[in-house]
Amino acid sequence: MKYSYYPGCAQHGTAVDYRISVENVFRILGIELEEIKNWNCCGALHVPDRTVRVALSARTLASAKGLDIATPCNLCYSNLMRASTALADSALRTKVNDALTEKYNGNTRPKHLLEVIVKDFGLPKLAENVRKPLKIKAVPYYGCLLTRPENNFDSPENPKSLDSLISTLGAEPVTYYYKTKCCGGPALLTNEDMALGLAKDLFVMAKETGADCMVVTCPMCHLMLDGKQKAVESKYNIKIDLPVIYFTQLMGLAMGVDPKELGLSKHFVPADTLIAKIGGNNDRK
């Protein structure tokens, strides 16, 4: 299995832990992610002009070399998905292609890494790679942009793919009514008070489930829920103390990868208790 890989900007900075876990876990599973040369930012949610936004992703789609494009980031994924739909309009495609060296022919399929695992690689095959079934309860948190406004693999209202992945790893996905409710991430810099309020709602609901951790698929959600968890605790005077981990880190733990090779030490909310509960480390060498 081979994909053109579009890591997105966060993998270099705030999501460096995600990157470490993706590299190690995908290597073990034998899924090849070939990074696109000289890739550009998708514009996230901050390029106001629609044509420019579509063109930024068109350039990425054009560089796929006949492979599907895989990305670890919900924002990148949604921008690529939206652009690929918008570019079905041939007038827009012609206009955008004028600005591109490598033209986009309209045939690239973007995939989030979760889709790669759940749909392409397959959960039965993942199950074969589980060395240490996780006897924990986990909140499946999808965020907004993994499934909305469009996606090719799950329901925008009640997605189940992350739930199934958590079950496959031997853990229990708890019923979580806010699985696709906004975490506040996009407003982190510009409207922090509002962002903390949104995150607080997610935490309160997550704590009610008695879960050991929240599982995320997006660097922005992780920055908000892990990075700003302390800020939520002090603003609302509540105790949360809930590790927030990437789904690839959860996979790594179940596959017996040493936690050190999953970037878990880079989290703000320590995952130590969680790791201890799972029962330690390095079965796999």
Q: In what order do the strands lie in the sheet with 244-246?
A: 172-173, 137-140, 213-216, 244-246
DSSP letter for 37, please: T
**Burial of 160: CB neighbours in 10 Å, binned 0-12, 13-18, 19+:** middle
Contacting range for another protein; rule: CB under 8 A; set: 114-122, 131-139, 141-149, 245-253 = 141-149
Site map 143..172 versus another protein, x via CB under 8 A: -xx--xx------xx---------------
77-136 residues in contact with another protein (CB under 8 A) are: 78, 86, 89, 91-92, 95-96, 98-101
* Chosen residue from 59, 111, 112, 200 binding another protein by CB under 8 A: 59
- Spatial separation of the C-alpha atoms in residues 101 and 262, rounded to whole Å: 37
CB of 38 to another protein, least distance (A): 5
Question: Half-sphere exposure of 119 toward its Cβ, with a 13 Å CA cutoff?
Answer: 13
Q: Between 82 and 132, whose beta carbon lies closer to another protein?
A: 82
Q: Between 107 and 191, whose beta carbon lies closer to another protein?
A: 191
CB of 210 to another protein, least distance (A): 24
Phi, psi (deg, nearest 5) at residue 117: -70, -50
- Spatial separation of the C-alpha atoms in residues 146 and 72, rounded to whole Å: 10
* Chosen residue from 66, 124, 175, 189 binding another protein by CB under 8 A: 189
Q: Between 15 and 254, whose beta carbon lies closer to another protein?
A: 15
Q: Give kind and range of the element (H or E) at residue 34.
A: strand 32-35
CB of 130 to another protein, least distance (A): 29
12-41 residues in contact with another protein (CB under 8 A) are: 12-17, 37-41
Q: Between 31 and 146, whose beta carbon lies closer to another protein?
A: 146
How many residues sit close enough to another protein to count as binding (CB under 8 A)?
62
- Spatial separation of the C-alpha atoms in residues 91 and 96, rounded to whole Å: 9
> Any residues with CB less than 8 A from the CB of 74 and at least 6 apart, and which?
112, 143, 144, 145, 146, 217, 218, 219, 220, 221
Neighbours of 72 (CB within 10 A): 29
Q: Between 212 and 226, whose beta carbon lies closer to another protein?
A: 226
Contacting range for another protein; rule: CB under 8 A; set: 48-56, 164-172, 254-262, 269-277 = 48-56
Q: Between 39 and 121, whose beta carbon lies closer to another protein?
A: 39
DSSP letter for 148, please: S
Contacting range for another protein; rule: CB under 8 A; set: 21-29, 123-131, 180-188, 273-281 = 180-188
Site map 198..217 versus another protein, x via CB under 8 A: x-------------------
Is the bond into 149 cis (omega within 30 degrees of 0)?
Answer: yes
Q: What is the dihedral of CA 61, 124, 157, 19, to 10 degrees?
A: -50
Beta carbons of 215 and 250 less than 8 angstroms apart: yes
Q: Which residues bind another protein (CB under 8 A)?
A: 9-10, 12-17, 37-41, 43-52, 54-56, 59, 78, 86, 89, 91-92, 95-96, 98-101, 144-145, 148-149, 156-157, 180-182, 184-187, 189-192, 194, 198, 227-228, 231, 266, 268
